[in-house]
Amino acid sequence: GSGGFRKRKHDNFPHGQRREEKENVNPSSALMMSFKSFQLELDTRHDKYERLVKLSRDITIESKRTIFLLHRFISAPNGEEILNESEVKLDAVRRKIKQVAQELIGEDMYQFHRAVSPG
């Protein structure tokens, strides 16, 4: 064309016909109930995936902070204090790893393996 609007696929159908089809759908039909259960299952899985991504990022951040803290151990005069602080940070990392493990109880781990980074 010469700069005109392109016709979309759904423009071939009269607008009133699509509205009538939507009104004829029974929300309590077996098909709609199946779709609702699939929607709930997918939403639940997506939420779990997002929680795992967040936990994984938190683990990575806390691990890096602990590593950088331990790098200061060599040059710092208060070595015992740094070791105590690093132990507290490592306990937080362990708790987060435990949360990841609890999220994966009863789940196929391979569905969520990309949510947890190896970093």
What domains are defined for the chain? Answer: 45-115 (1.20.58.190)
Q: pTM of the entire structure?
A: 0.69
Q: Which residues of the chain have pLDDT under 50?
A: none
* Cα–Cα dist 44/65, whole Å: 32
* Cα–Cα dist 71/73, whole Å: 5
pLDDT of residue 97: 94
pLDDT of residue 99: 95
C-alpha separations of 53 from 12, 84, 113 in Å: 44, 28, 10
pLDDT of residue 19: 55
pLDDT of residue 79: 81
pLDDT of residue 94: 96
